[in-house]
């Protein structure tokens, strides 16, 4: 079909310009940066993109440029056929929606997304400091059983996409989006001001030791938590902690 469109203008150089691979996001195909760059293609105008779309069974066509070095991973994507760049991509049973001209979807992250989805996070409250369109936030909520995720993101287009995907996957009520610089929003949102992470564990441990001492000595003891030092984490839910506990017998 492309040969027919170009007629006598067809050449080996043009053939090399025809892509052999592309990304498909629903009804939109995303072509690589080096596709259809030669000048004769331009003369075909929209007929070229309609032909490409019909050959690939798509309705919209876009072409990738380089990701901009702006800290927001903004892609340089040009929409060549179609009215808008919003797409839906289903990955490991999760529906991601985003505007391909504004946000990046990285299929290369799939192994990490699968690993995150399989982590045992039941009941955990998580913070995703660089949430993007939810590559990790969504698997945490949909598959890993997280109770709640605080998702920080400063790219407003990614925030919009994340919001829509949370709704699509029915987990909007378990995520708070902190829109802005994660170095500031996490503090502003009270994430740093919450009770110390190990407080309830320390208090429970203190109560158990107090009970053991009372049983051993046959009279009441009191205990108070002086300090908790989180030394390191070996794995999810496996931590090395030091608890400074003051224990004294209750004087008659
Ligand atoms: C490479 S993407 C990573 C997205 C996802 N976590 C992943 O690994 O696929 C990094 C994201 O962090 C955001 N980002 C970078 N610095 C940030 C900051 N200081 N505060 C909030 N978001 C930030 C960018 O806009 C981008 O969406």
- Whole-number Å distance, alpha carbon 147 to ligand 1 midpoint, is 22
Nearest CA to ligand 1 atom 1: 73
CB of residue 91 inside a 6 A radius of ligand 1: no
193 has pLDDT over 60: no
Are domains 2-83 and 105-217 of this chain identical in fold?
Answer: no
Q: What is the pLDDT of residue 199?
A: 82
CB of residue 106 inside a 6 A radius of ligand 1: yes
Interval 54-60 mean pLDDT: 96
Atom number of ligand 1 nearest to Cα 128: 6
Which of 122-131, 163-172, 200-209, 212-221 ranks highest by mean pLDDT? 163-172
Q: What is the mean pLDDT of the chain?
A: 87
Contact 192, 204 (CB under 8 A): no
Angle at 180 between CA 97 and CA 111, to 5 degrees: 45
Q: In terms of CATH, what superfamily is 105-217?
A: Vaccinia Virus protein VP39 (3.40.50.150)
195 has pLDDT over 60: no
Atom number of ligand 1 nearest to Cα 71: 15
**Domain covering 2-83: architecture:** 2-Layer Sandwich (3.30)
- Whole-number Å distance, alpha carbon 83 to ligand 1 midpoint, is 27
pLDDT category of residue 114 using cuts at 50, 70 and 90? confident
- Whole-number Å distance, alpha carbon 172 to ligand 1 midpoint, is 20
CB of residue 73 inside a 6 A radius of ligand 1: yes
107 has pLDDT over 80: no
87-103 tens-digit pLDDT? 998 888 999 999 999 98
Q: What is the pLDDT of residue 187?
A: 58
Q: What is the pLDDT of residue 14?
A: 87
Contact 223, 247 (CB under 8 A): yes
pTM over 0.85: no
- Whole-number Å distance, alpha carbon 180 to ligand 1 midpoint, is 11
CB of residue 97 inside a 6 A radius of ligand 1: no
165 has pLDDT over 60: yes
Residue 218, phi-psi category: left (phi > 0), alpha (psi -120 to 50), beta (remainder) = left
Domain residue limits, the chain: 2-83, 105-217
Residue from 99, 158, 160, 149 nearest 126 by CA: 149
Q: What is the pLDDT of residue 129?
A: 85
């Amino acid at each position: 079909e492309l040969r027919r469109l170009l007629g006598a203008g067809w050449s080996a150089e043009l053939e090399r310009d025809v892509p052999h691979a592309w990304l498909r996001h629903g009804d939109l195909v995303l072509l690589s940066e080096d596709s259809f760059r030669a000048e004769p293609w331009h003369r075909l105008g929209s007929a070229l993109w309609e032909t490409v779309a019909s050959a690939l069974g798509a309705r919209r066509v876009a072409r990738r440029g380089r990701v901009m070095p702006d800290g927001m991973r903004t892609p340089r994507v040009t929409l060549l056929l179609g009215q808008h760049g919003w797409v839906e991509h289903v990955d490991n049973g999760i529906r991601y929606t985003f505007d391909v001209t504004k946000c990046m979807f990285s299929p290369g992250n799939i192994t990490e997304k699968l690993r995150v989805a399989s982590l045992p996070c039941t009941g955990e409250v998580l913070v995703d400091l660089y949430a993007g369109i939810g590559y990790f936030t969504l698997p945490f909520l949909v598959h890993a059983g997280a109770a709640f995720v605080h998702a920080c993101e400063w790219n407003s287009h990614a925030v919009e996409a994340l919001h829509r995907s949370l709704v699509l996957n029915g987990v909007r009520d378990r995520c708070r989006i902190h829109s802005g610089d994660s170095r500031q929003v996490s503090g502003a949102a009270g994430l740093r001001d919450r009770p110390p992470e190990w407080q309830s564990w320390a208090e429970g441990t203190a109560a158990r030791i107090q009970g053991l001492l009372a049983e051993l000595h046959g009279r009441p003891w009191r205990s108070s938590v002086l300090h908790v030092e989180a030394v390191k984490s070996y794995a999810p839910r496996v931590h090395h902690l030091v608890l400074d506990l003051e224990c004294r017998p209750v004087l008659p």
